[in-house]
A and B are shown apart, each in its own frame.
Chain A
């Protein structure tokens, strides 16, 4: 196997790992996927070390070790499924490594998110539904509907503008608090607590908490602690945003 081909294969594995981590896959699964892909190409000595902020990958003695850094992480389950599909096809030798690399490049460039209007609508409906699950009254649904949608909209917009995740979550929580207080003030709502809990649910870092514990159980303490810290900061940002509004 010539050097150029090997280089390309390493690029391919690193890209697969990077897309998966960026989309919120579990760390141990990313390591496993990269090693499986490498073994299917007869690279038996491959080693990978994955953290939420970077990947180190080595083929053993012959090749220099490569790293890639991961600055941002979002939740995008569609991409995880697509990369998993490519890796499945590669490991069962249905496609060659060149084809896999092309497909991964395409996955990296494409935006698989649904239009923001649909996401905001989903967040609104989810907020209304959660209000009912937490024993809220039907009268509070319109307030939760508006607050939940607005919260997700603000997170998306501010995050695209500033790239600072905790700031956008803080602002969204402030907006939710203001909408809920206004609804109570003008008589469109009854229980402010239930409205806020329902509308904050779309911002809750559910994936991070699950993955943090899951990674710890698989022995990835570095990744688990890092994800736990991210989840804690997110929860803290939401809590302080709400607290700021309620204290007035």
Chain B
């Protein structure tokens, strides 16, 4: 199993890095883009493997993608979107969307609706995961910087009084 997870990570790294090229990410960030996608896919794959539903697994995958993208955005001093856009591509429910289209074409509207709802739920979960992680990080960093500045001002006032 370890072997296959490792192979999955390598393949998703290659796929995401290629998407970085298609979306024209700055050249030096392309390996980082690949890494973001590989981490997100690894979380998703392990979650599916231990029996978590696709919707929850997509949410967790997107959440982690966003966290790693936030980290790289701070490191490279670039907008977060550069890293997160190609990172979520492996999680996009392409297969289910394809089946929806296929069902509708074969006039099987019941299955089509079922698959369509599923694709909608998964893409909603991905978007939620991305946004929640970003807001989460913003709150943490705001708290951290507030603590720092208030601490500094406290130290300053202490120095002044002494």
Contacts and interface: CB of A to CB of B under 8 A. Distances in A.
* Chain B binding surface SS class: helix
B24 A217 contact: no
A196 B94 CA distance: 10
A210 B127 contact: yes
Given A77-B24, A213-B124, A29 B79 contact: yes
A118 B25 CA distance: 13
Interface string A65-93: 00000000001111111001100100000
Interface residues of B, number: 42
Interface stretch (B7-15, B50-58, B149-157): B7-15
A113 B24 contact: yes
Interface in B1-32: 8, 11-12, 14-15, 18-26, 29
Interface in A187-226: 193, 196-197, 200-202, 204, 206-207, 209-214, 217
Interface string B57-98: 000000000000000000001110110111011101011011
B81 A126 contact: no
Contacts of A213: 124, 127-128, 130-131
Nearest to A204: B92
Contacts of B23: 75-77, 207
B120 to A, nearest CB: 11
Contacts of A126: 14-15, 18-19, 22
Interface stretch (A10-18, A39-47, A50-58, A239-247): A239-247
B101 interface: yes
Interface string A25-48: 110010000000000000000000
Contacts of A132: 11
Contacts of B22: 75, 119, 122-123, 126, 152, 202
B15 A235 contact: no
Nearest to A198: B94
B21 A81 contact: no
Contacts of B98: 193, 196-197, 200, 242
11 contacts: A76-B23, A80-B82, A85-B77, A114-B21, A193-B102, A197-B98, A201-B94, A210-B85, A213-B127, A213-B130, A235-B97
Interface of A: 24-26, 29, 75-81, 84-85, 88, 112-114, 118-119, 122-123, 125-126, 129-130, 132-134, 152, 193, 196-197, 200-202, 204, 206-207, 209-214, 217, 235, 239, 242-243, 246-247
